[in-house]
Amino acid sequence: MSNDILVIAEHLGGKVADISYEMVGKAKELAAAWGGQAIAVMLGSGMAEQAGTFASDATLYVDDPALAEFNPEAYGRVVAALVEEKSPRLVMFGSTSVGMDLAAWLSVKKDMPCVAYVNDLTVEDGELVATAQIYGGKMAAQCVPQGDAAVVSVMAGAFPADAGRGSTAAEQIASPADLSDLKVRFVQMIMPEAGDVDITAEEKLVAIGRGIGSEDNIELAQELAEALGAELAASRPITDAGWLPKTRQVGKSGVTVKPKLYLMLGISGAPEHLEGMKDAELIIAINTDENAPIFDVAHYGATQDLFDVAEAMLEALE
């Protein structure tokens, strides 16, 4: 068993996901404490240039047409083979759709403990201490994985992405696993239909969540958004209810936004939503629950009734 860390990078549409850089930065810190290396692992096809954008101690780029798009069977085979070959002390995935497919599977496959929804990792007395979000982010649990090696899935935004960006020559290798007999194949990527507005390009957003109560109350939020020169966005419960189109949904199963202002009305701050708006320049949260996890990331917040606050803001703006 080595003291190295494997970071399984992600990409979509030819672009490396920020979570990959976030994990590489933290992996370098942990590996240094253990006297090992942080090794970024990029699986894909035609991604050689992007594979060289990590500040890792080393980068492995597995190039194969079967890896061009994410395929859980293909990716799983390759990652398992690399773990068998490299014997890392830690394997890091993002807490994403990719990580959800692979982290627990690898844990069972290789008999390695897995910690999910991780938002902090430290080394204390030589042991890994992982802090994980539970109960929708309302509580944090610290644990020390038992055994010689572990798997973690890391929440987006837990660590700074810039720490993992850099330029390291990637070693391009052939797939260490046979990918000629896959039972699962990638057919097509279906992108969501374009909506009436692209909220990813907006500088100001007013986002509503379950706390809005009913569809009739959205009118007040819309008035506030117009007064601020902003567009309306939402968390998943709102779009699932059909109150706003899916194109307005922010979060892991929606879109990622980085506005200058993100005003939240009645959103508790589940990890899935935070993943889509964590990089907003100014985050203001209105929620009557003072223990709502959104207050851990908001720059400003109020525990008042959202309708009282919205009406007061409208009066001030008028």
Write down the pLDDT at residue 61: 97
Contact 67, 45 (CB under 8 A): yes
Sign of the CA dihedral running 109, 115, 121, 123? negative
Contact 112, 1 (CB under 8 A): no
Phi, psi of 308 (to 5 degrees): -65, -45
| Cα 297–chain centre separation | 15
Write down the pLDDT at residue 53: 96
Q: Which helix (H) or strand (E) holds 219?
A: helix 218-228
DSSP 250: B
CB atoms near residue 303 (< 10 Å): 14
Write down the pLDDT at residue 194: 57
Which residues, including other chains, have CB under 8 Å from residue 315's CB and lie 6 or more apart?
none
**Cα(131)–Cα(155) distance, rounded to whole angstroms?**
11
**Cα(2)–Cα(233) distance, rounded to whole angstroms?**
46
Write down the pLDDT at residue 136: 67
CB atoms near residue 189 (< 10 Å): 9
Residues 91-138 have pLDDT tens digits of: 999 998 899 999 999 999 999 999 999 989 999 999 999 999 887 666
The pair of structure tokens assigned to 88 is 């890392």
Contact 20, 12 (CB under 8 A): no
Contact 23, 159 (CB under 8 A): yes
| Cα 110–chain centre separation | 24
Domains of the chain: 5-173 (3.40.50.620), 199-317 (3.40.50.1220)
Write down the pLDDT at residue 318: 81
Instruction: List the pLDDT tens digit at each of the 318 positions of the chain.
Output: 799 999 999 998 889 999 999 999 999 999 999 999 999 999 999 999 999 999 999 999 999 999 999 999 999 999 999 999 999 999 999 998 899 999 999 999 999 999 999 989 999 999 999 999 887 666 889 999 999 999 999 988 788 889 999 999 999 999 999 999 999 989 888 776 656 688 988 999 999 999 999 999 999 999 999 999 999 999 999 999 999 998 899 987 788 899 999 999 999 988 889 888 988 999 999 999 999 999 989 999 999 999 999 999 999 988
Phi, psi of 263 (to 5 degrees): -100, 120
**Cα(25)–Cα(159) distance, rounded to whole angstroms?**
8
Kindly report the pTM of this predicted structure.
0.74
Type of residue at 68: A
